[in-house]
């Protein structure tokens, strides 16, 4: 731990100032802890909106490692799994012994994916992101709900929680992080149905779609339980209710990527469940249809 962090002023970096990264950066800046910004596209500043509240996070967003890039105490890695390879060059420059990388990414295998990319002595903290943030046509990020993340209760995660303490982003430290991470994964997997239908949350008001979604959730929950997650049936009903109760025009990041013609996170959101099911000898007939269709929607050909 650096001397700066000992004085309660850790150096903080955000890699990937998209919807999630901008929300975290705005929360930190608003609390007087302006982070350094790194990404693919140079920007003078970031624009964040929450209702009538506006936050402008000063930049610049650096696009290339150089002499001005120094090791940070806390690094928020806010790139999608499909963008991890392109962002990997930032991690050796920003991380050193004692640095903590908080991975704000979908899936349950963040540690396994990021560990090969960071220097020895860097600690990795997986995170579950619960807030809906969306990039607007003017480049600003709009937060459409309360900002909240969940972390495992570990010493490294406590450092992340302290960094976000007192900001507009709430942090939950979970004793049973496995269950929390699987609950979010089940939600993300179900959102994949929106890609296949080309529709937003309003589609879950259809009884046939609701029935399909619940059947898919039950199938995925069997895998979650085999992996040690305590997923009760009521949780599946709550996930479905979350989609049905959301504004009809509410999208999801994987649908936004499909509409923009970008690669989809089908492997970390859906395929991982099928893969783990095979390890446990479980059948996943719905996944066996959903996953190839998402893969084709993402990667083609055609």
List residues with catalytic annotation. 184
C-alpha–C-alpha distance, residues 264 and 266, integer Å? 5
Nearest CA-CA partner of 72 in 97, 49, 54: 97
Are 197 and 175 a contacting pair, CB within 8 Å? Answer: no
* Pairwise CA distance, residues 108 & 299, whole Å: 22
Separation between Cα atoms, residue 269 and residue 8, nearest integer Å: 36
Residue 281 neighbours by CB distance under 10 Å? 7
Q: Are 189 and 263 in contact (CB under 8 A)?
A: no
- Residue 147's CB is within 10 A of a number of other CB atoms, namely 22
Angle at the Cα of 94 (from 93 to 95), degrees rounded to 5?
A: 100
Cis peptide before 141 (omega within 30 of 0): no
């Amino acid at each position: 731990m650096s001397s700066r962090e000992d004085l309660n002023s850790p150096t903080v970096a955000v890699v990937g100032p998209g919807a999630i990264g901008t929300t975290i950066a705005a929360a930190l800046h608003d609390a007087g802890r302006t982070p350094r910004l790194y990404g693919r596209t140079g920007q003078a500043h970031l624009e964040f909106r929450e209702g009538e509240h506006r936050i402008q996070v000063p930049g610049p967003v650096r696009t290339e490692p150089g002499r001005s890039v120094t090791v940070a105490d806390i690094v928020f890695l806010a790139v999608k799994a499909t963008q991890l390879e392109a962002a990997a060059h930032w991690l050796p420059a920003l991380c050193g012994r004692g640095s903590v990388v908080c991975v704000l990414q979908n899936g349950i295998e963040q540690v396994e994916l990021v560990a090969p990319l960071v220097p020895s002595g860097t600690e990795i903290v997986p995170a579950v992101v619960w807030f809906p943030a969306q990039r607007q046509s003017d480049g600003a990020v709009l937060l459409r709900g309360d900002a909240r993340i969940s972390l495992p209760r570990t010493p490294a995660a406590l450092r992340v929680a302290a960094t976000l303490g007192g900001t507009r982003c709430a942090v939950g430290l979970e004793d049973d992080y496995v269950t929390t991470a699987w609950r979010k994964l089940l939600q993300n997997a179900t959102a994949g149905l929106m890609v296949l239908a080309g529709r937003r949350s309003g589609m879950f008001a259809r009884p046939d779609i609701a029935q399909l979604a619940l059947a898919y959730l039950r199938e995925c929950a069997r895998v979650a339980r085999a992996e040690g997650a305590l997923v009760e049936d009521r949780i599946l009903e709550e996930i479905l209710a979350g989609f049905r109760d959301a504004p009809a025009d509410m999208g999801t990041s994987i649908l936004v990527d499909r509409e923009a013609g970008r690669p989809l996170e089908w492997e970390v959101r859906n395929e991982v469940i099928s893969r783990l099911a095979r390890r446990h000898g479980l059948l996943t007939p719905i996944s066996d249809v959903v996953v190839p269709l998402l893969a084709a929607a993402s990667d083609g050909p055609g």
